[in-house]
Structure formats: structure tokens, C-alpha cells
Amino acid sequence: MIVRNFRNRILVSLSLLFLLLAAGSSRAQVTPATPPVPPAPTVPASPPPVSDAEKYRLEREQQLHEDWAQLKRYQAADQQVGPPAVGENRVVFYGDSITDAWIGVVPEFFQGKPYLDRGISGQTTPQMLVRMRQDVVDLQPRVVVILAGTNDIAGNTGPSTQEMIEDNFKSMVEIARANGIQPVIASVLPASDYPWKPGMEPGPKIVALNTWLKSYAEKNGLIYLDYYSAMVNDKMGLPANLSGDGVHPNKAGYAIMGPLAEKAVAAALSAPPPKK
């Protein structure tokens, strides 16, 4: 009896020992590590929206590389313009954005008249010199009204000295006269600042250029068209009632320019044509 009880105790002890060893072995087993979850692919952020001003700058930069003088602008229209009719006093208004916008703001100024608008926004005098044969000479006008220079002062195609601007005016006048076209030299319109290039203080530079333009016209028997005196305010700029941005005329501004231009054109038409 005693032996049996002893044996039972041994069996119980062995059983408990086995259970303890099994539990320890289970705890000692290393649980395999869970493989790392690869990070979700990064979605590239959408580029910020491009402003209208930046779009214009990029388009302008591309255009300057591909067609610096913008000959394509009026190429097709020029080809459709036939020679002047007998007795037609054709006039080309030649310039930058101020001329370019004129036909859009006041179309009636051009309607029913032998007037052609060949302005291109942002242009400088060297660009105008390059396209003068295509957009002026080949159209065979009797008169060309040249309004330019403010974008040179703004540095639209690089820094320009007044002497550089003067040289380009001289060349345009000589080309016109050599082809029997009477040039009218228009003053640069007043501007106290340029919205696209603030801080340049163009007012005094415009005054200096206009002084030379007037003197050059007088010395060479040309008609000088003075827009400046009729439009300037006390800050050497365009008043708010004549311009929305201080540079480009509105309808009221063009209402001042129109009669002055027609008077100058009439004077040019009455002058003897230049000898070719």
C-alpha cells in the first residue's frame, strides 16, 4: 500500500514536471517576425497652378526664341492686303500694345478708313525695325505713324540706352522715306511706373526721349505727334480717368489720341512725298 502510494506520487510529480517542461519549451520558442509592410507608394504632389502672369511670361519667352520680331503675327493678314486703290491714302499705325489695343478698344476709329493697325503688344524698337519691311513697306502706305519706345525703357528685350532707341527710330524713318512713305513720329505716352516692372521710374526717361523725338522730327522735316502733353498728369503718368493701369489708354484716352493722330496724318498727307 505504501509502495503504491509512493509510486502514484512519483507519477504525479513526473506529470507535473513534464507539463512544466512543455510550457517552458513553448515559451522559449521564437515567434517568427512579421515581415515589414512596404510603405504605400508616394503620390507626387500636384504642381501648383500657374498664374496667368506666369503663363504669359512662359509664352512670351518661347515666342522670343522662335519668332523674336513676331513676324508671324501679321504675316497672313499682310498677304491679304492688296495694293492701294487709286487715290487711296493708306496709313499704317505702327507700334506696341498701345497701338495693338487701339483697334479693339475703339474699332470705329479704323472702320471705313484706309487705316491698318500693325501694333504688337510688348514690342521694342529693334523688333519693330526687323518687321518694318513686312508690316509697313510692303503694304505701300502713304503714311506710317510710329509710336514706340516705352517698352525699350522698360527693358522688355534687354537693357536699352536712349542712344540705342534713337538709332532704331532713325533707321525706321530712313527705311520709310527710302520707300516713299511719310513718317509721323509720335511721342511716347506718359507713365510713372510699369505694372510688369515696378520701380523703374520711367517718367524722366520718357520726357528725355520725347525731347529728342521732337527735336529729331523738327530737324528732319517730319511731323511730330504730341500725345504726351495732352495726357500727362502731375506725376509724369497717365491719369486714372484715361488709363486703368497707368500705361495703356482706355476709351477716354484713345478719344484724346484719335483727333491728334488724324490731324498729324492730314499734315503728313499734305506734305510732299519723300523721294524714293
Residue 89 to residue 70: CA distance in whole angstroms: 26
Residue 258's domain is classified under what CATH number? 3.40.50.1110
Q: Which domain holds residue 171?
A: 90-270
In a domain, 26, yes or no: no
According to the model, what pLDDT value does residue 158 have? 95
According to the model, what pLDDT value does residue 112 have? 96
What pTM value is reported for the model? 0.80
Residue 64 to residue 124: CA distance in whole angstroms: 12
According to the model, what pLDDT value does residue 11 have? 53
In a domain, 85, yes or no: no
According to the model, what pLDDT value does residue 61 have? 78
Number of folded domains in the chain? 1
Residue 276 DSSP symbol? -
Look up residue 175 and give its three cell numbers.
Answer: 527705311
According to the model, what pLDDT value does residue 15 have? 57
According to the model, what pLDDT value does residue 96 have? 98
According to the model, what pLDDT value does residue 256 have? 98
In a domain, 61, yes or no: no
In a domain, 129, yes or no: yes
According to the model, what pLDDT value does residue 198 have? 95
Q: Give 235-261 pLDDT, tens digit per residue.
A: 999 999 999 999 999 999 999 999 999
In a domain, 20, yes or no: no
Mean pLDDT by 10 residues, the chain (276 residues): 53 52 49 64 75 72 85 97 96 98 98 98 98 98 98 96 98 98 98 95 98 98 98 97 97 98 98 83
In a domain, 66, yes or no: no
Instruction: Using CA atoms of 238, 54, 118, 74 in order, give the dihedral in degrees to the nearest 10.
Output: -170
Instruction: Using CA atoms of 241, 242, 244, 249 in order, give the dihedral in degrees to the nearest 10.
Output: 170
According to the model, what pLDDT value does residue 58 have? 78
3-state secondary structure 90-130: CEEEEECHHHHHHHHHCHHHCCCCCEEEEECCCCCHHHHHH
